[in-house]
Amino acid sequence: MKLPWRTPGPDGIRCVAARTILHVTPPIGFNLFVLLQGMTQHDIGYVAKMATPMFLIMVVMVFILIAAPELATWLPENMRAALGG
């Protein structure tokens, strides 16, 4: 069975992870502003404080992907092998 997708390289996955961090942190912080527009009654300081643990997890994830890039493609490669692609 030929699968319709390619396994993304580790550079692409690191880029997406880094851009995700960008959307949470100022000055861009688009996701924080979306939350503040209508989903919560809290101020930006409270929302940013609550987002800090997730931000730190994402930063650690990016450093792990930099140190061991083969982890980024391990799951897609194993799924492709299991499905016969």
CA distance 85 to 81: 6
- With a CB cutoff of 8 Å and minimum separation 6, the contacts of 22 are 28
For 63, residues 6+ apart whose C-beta sits below 8 A from its C-beta are none
Range of the domain at 78: 10-82
1 lies in a domain? Answer: no
Task: Tell me, yes or no, whether 4 lies in a domain.
Answer: no
Residues 6+ away with beta carbon under 8 Å from 57: none
- 5 within domain boundaries: no
The number of domains in the chain is 1
76 lies in some domain: yes
Mean pLDDT, contiguous 10-residue spans, the chain (85 residues): 60 83 77 77 84 90 88 84 80
Asked if the structure places residue 2 within a domain, the reply is: no
pLDDT at 6: 62
38 falls within a domain: yes
